Amino acid sequence: MDLRLQDRKAIITGGGSGIGAAICRRFAEEGANLTILDRDEDAGQDVANALGGQFIHCDVADEQSVTDAFRQLDGPPPSILVNNAGIAHVGEIATTSPEDFDRVMRVNVRGPYLCSRAALPLMLGHGKGSILNISSVAAQVGIADRLAYSTSKGAVYSMTLSIARDYVKRGIRCNCLCPARVHTPFVDNYLKENYPGKEAAMFSELEATQPIGRMAKPDEIAALAAYVCSEEAAFVTGAAFDIDGGFTLLK
C-alpha cells in the first residue's frame, strides 16, 4: 500500500469503533501519525494501542473537553482532522423531543464545529491542512423517521462548504463524505434491540434499500477518506462525496 499519509498527524474523532476505527486502521497503514479522540476510553485506547497511536479521552460536544484534548496532542501539529464522531436518533418531528433533538445536534454539529475550530489555528501555523467531515445521504435525501439525524447531517454538509470557502486561500481544504447505510456494530445492536428474533430479515430489508444490494463496509468508507485527505486530492475542496451504493439515484 502507498504511504500517502506518511508522517502526517491525523486526528480522528470517534475512532474507537465502526467507521472511525476503520479510518484509523487505513490511515495507520498509509503511514499517518494517529491521535484518536473518543468518549469510550476502553475502545479508543484499544484502537490506539493496536495501531501505535495516541488516545485522548474527549467529549466532542463539550468545549472544555475539546480544548483540553487539543492541549494534550503530542508530536507534530495536525495536518488532518476527521470529524467522524456522531450519534443517531429514530423519530419524526412529532416523536422527537427537544431533548433528543438538542443531544443529536450537540454531538453531530457542535462536535465538528468545536474540533475544527481547535484544529484550524494549528493547521494554519504550518500553512496546510485537510478537514474531512462525515455527513450522510440523509443530508440530501428525505429518510423516514430520521428528523434530528438528517437535520444534523445537513448542517455538517453546509459547515463543510463554509469552511472550504473561508480557508481556500490559506491552504486548508475541507470536504465531506456522504455514506448511505454502513454495516457497523451499531446496525447489529439496533436490530437486536428493536427486532429480536427478526434480525436477519430486517438486515436483508436494510441492505435492499441500496440499489447495489448491500450496505457499505467501514473499510470502503476509510479508503475514500484516505484519498480525500491525501495529497492526491490536493485540488479537491468544498466537495461532498456520495458513497451510497446508488442510494441517491432514488431521489
Catalytic machinery residues: 149
Residue 194: CB atoms within 10 A of its CB come to 11
Give me the phi and psi of 82, to 5 degrees please: -110, 110
Could you give the residue ranges of the DSSP H alpha helices within 17-132? 18-29, 41-51, 63-71, 98-105, 111-125
How many degrees, rounded to 5, is the angle at CA 160 between CA 141 and CA 154?
25
Selection from 40, 129, 126 nearest residue 82 by Cα: 129
* Closest-CA residue to 151 (of 225, 206, 61, 86): 86
Can you tell me which residue has the cell 476509510?
222
Number of other residues whose CB lies within 10 A of the CB of residue 200: 10
3-state secondary structure of 153: helix
DSSP state at residue 231: G
- CA atoms of 250 and 211, how far apart (whole Å): 8
Are 103 and 61 in contact by the 8 Å Cβ rule? The answer is no
Can you tell me which residue has the cell 436483508?
204
